[in-house]
Amino acid sequence: MDLSIDILQEWGACSDGRYWFITQEETNHIKLVEKLIKQDKIFWAHWLISRTLGFIGGIKYVVYVAKTVLYLYESEYPKDFRLHKIVELAEGVTYPDILNAIKESLNAIAKPLFDLTCSITNIAFMDKNYAASGVAQVVSCVCRALMDNEYRIWCIYREALYSVDALVSYMGDIKERDTHKKQHLKRYIQYGLELLKEEANAK
């Protein structure tokens, strides 16, 4: 996919990001992500990945991210497998045969699951299990990624940020938190980059 300043503006890219784009020559979305990673513009790279992944790629991305944090919830609520089951269901949707069979009903399936994850988020927060609450937020984004509406891309973007927040929630030092957030996000965007290449090769 070739990007332009008009496309970035339509997508709501920040002014700094648009300025960066016009001061360099690359337009291919994959090469732009690679360039952003090399320049340590990790959050911009993640934003671009969330914007350019296809439907199945987006679901694969949020499932991957969710799997890295589920243990934080299950360590607090070891008998509650609801979030795990939702992520498993979402992973199943990444298989084309399954997606084709249920695509028309996907919104109807995902909406009550999203409502459930919001309830779990609130309960964990009231219990002061903030990391567990963050994980439930992550899985709520998985549900949104299954739904074909205007919130989908925003949730793909936000999910990884909720995830890194949950992973560093036990850290007291702000600088240490920021360092670890970046490290976790780098791992996510490397996987996102693999998915973008996978999609490009499939065309």
DSSP structure string for 144-186: HHHS-STTHHHHHHHHHHHHHHHHTTT---HHHHHHHHHHHHH
Percent of the chain topping pLDDT 90 = 67
For residue 81, CA distances in Å to 64, 105, 127 come to: 17, 24, 18
Same domain, 10 and 65: no
154 and 91 co-located in one domain: yes
Share of the chain above pLDDT 70, in %: 98
> Chain-wide mean pLDDT for the chain?
90
| pLDDT over 70 (residue 203) | yes
- Count of alpha carbons within 13 Å of 5, Cβ hemisphere only? 10
Residue 25 belongs to what domain range?
5-50
- Is 87's pLDDT higher than 90? yes
- H or E stretch including 23? none
- How would residue 25 be classed by pLDDT, with cut points 50, 70 and 90? very high
Residue 8 scores a pLDDT above 80: yes
Q: Which residue has the higher pLDDT, 180 or 49?
A: 49
Rounded to an integer, the average pLDDT of 103-118 is 90
Residues 167, 54: Cα–Cα separation, whole Å: 27
**Residues 192 and 157 both lie in one domain:** yes
42 and 63 both lie in a single domain: no
Question: Any idea what the Cα angle at residue 135 is, between residues 116 and 149, rounded to 5°?
Answer: 55
- What is the structure's pLDDT at 149? 66
Number of structural domains the chain divides into:
2
Indicate if 44 and 66 belong to the same structural domain. Answer: no
> Looking at residue 36, what is its pLDDT?
96
Buried b (16+ CB within 10 A) or exposed e, 48-83: bbbbbbebbbbbbbbbbbbbbbbebbbebbeeeebb
C-alpha 182/C-alpha 41 separation (Å) is 10
112 and 36 assigned to the same domain: no
Q: Is the per-residue pLDDT at 169 higher than 80?
A: no
Is the whole-model pTM more than 0.75? yes
162 and 71 assigned to the same domain: yes
Nearest Cα to 80, choosing from 128, 119, 126, 109? 119
Average of pLDDT values for 154-162? 85
**pLDDT given at position 134:** 92
